[in-house]
Amino acid sequence: MTDTVLSCTDLALGYHREEVCRDVTIGFRPAALTAVVGPNGCGKSTLLKGLGGALRPRRGEVTLDGRPLTAYRPKEAARTVATLPQNPVVPEQITVRELVARGRYPYHSLLRSSASDDARAIQAALAQTGTEEIADRPVAELSGGQRQRVWLALVLAQDTPVVLLDEPTTFLDIAHQHEVLELCTSLRDSGRTVVAIMHDLGQAAAFADDLVMMRDGRVIAQGAPAAVLTPDRVEQTFGLRARIVADPDTGAPLVLPPL
């Protein structure tokens, strides 16, 4: 997989005695937005944890820029891959700006608690996510949608070439969902590799360059949205009989209920 920046080979992941993902071989192209789709409980979040190094493989290997992920020192890996988990925990009494500033931790050392780019990266992350006006408010006082944008700002402040997002539109209304997805495409356009777990097949097809479809801990298909989203595959994966038609404006596949 020489044309990929992040990949895994024969990957198996799990918790305790349960194996959740198995035999996963997949690669993510540089400067591309990939959406991972599949029914609840199929292993999407577990796969993302393995790709980001939060969960050690039982078998197989994750490779980052041609090197095994296990060969990276923790801070070195954190300067390359940033991950937004599904349910991050908010530290008590922390403000938005203080939380976003934690994204700069990989650039600090025991002898240096700040870096020259900290202020720029923090301010840019706040601006990109529209959280500048609430920067001095406690995170605990924010709505679910506001918190989600703040967590996205923390990931952006980490300033990594690879970004992993677990359901980044959770808690957001439709307008803010589109803002976040537009942000994902702008990250891709700036040269970053973005992998996002998504539930809305229409949004995934409209915004992503590639789709990865999962079922029962395995990858069923990977490729361009039009190639992955077929009526038979959607029914096989989601148990949903659907029509797939091309969007008249963009050509992206639309998933519609049967007539």
pLDDT tens per residue, range 57-67: 999 999 999 99
Distance, first Cα to last Cα, the chain: 41
Same domain membership, residue 145 and residue 193: no
Same domain membership, residue 128 and residue 11: no
Same domain membership, residue 166 and residue 155: no
Question: Given 159, 175, 209, which residue is the final one in a domain?
Answer: 159
Q: For the stretch 115-126, what's the b/e string if a residue is b when 16 or more beta carbons lie within 10 angstroms of its beta carbon?
A: eeebeebbeebb
Same domain membership, residue 241 and residue 173: yes
Q: How many domains does the chain have?
A: 2
Same domain membership, residue 148 and residue 172: no
Same domain membership, residue 105 and residue 75: no
Pairing of strands 218-223, 162-166: unpaired
pLDDT score for 111: 60
Residues of the chain with pLDDT under 70: 1-2, 111-112
Return the DSSP state at 216.
T
Question: Given 128, 159, 190, which residue is the final one in a domain?
Answer: 159
Same domain membership, residue 71 and residue 175: yes
pTM: 0.92
pLDDT score for 1: 47
Q: Residues 205, 207, 209, 211: what is their CA dihedral angle, to the nearest 10 degrees?
A: -40
Q: Tokens 């949903």, residue?
A: 240
Question: Given 159, 176, 194, which residue is the final one in a domain?
Answer: 159
Same domain membership, residue 189 and residue 100: no
β-sheet bridge partners, residue 5: none
CATH number at residue 179: 3.40.50.300
Same domain membership, residue 224 and residue 103: no
Same domain membership, residue 48 and residue 108: no
Number of Cβ within a 10 Å radius of residue 114: 11
Same domain membership, residue 129 and residue 102: yes
Domain that holds residue 198: 1-80+160-259
Same domain membership, residue 121 and residue 68: no
Q: What digits encode the pLDDT tens for the residues 147-176?
A: 989 999 999 999 999 999 999 998 888 988
Q: For the stretch 52-73, what's the b/e string if a residue is b when 16 or more beta carbons lie within 10 angstroms of its beta carbon?
A: bbebebeebebbbeeeebeebe
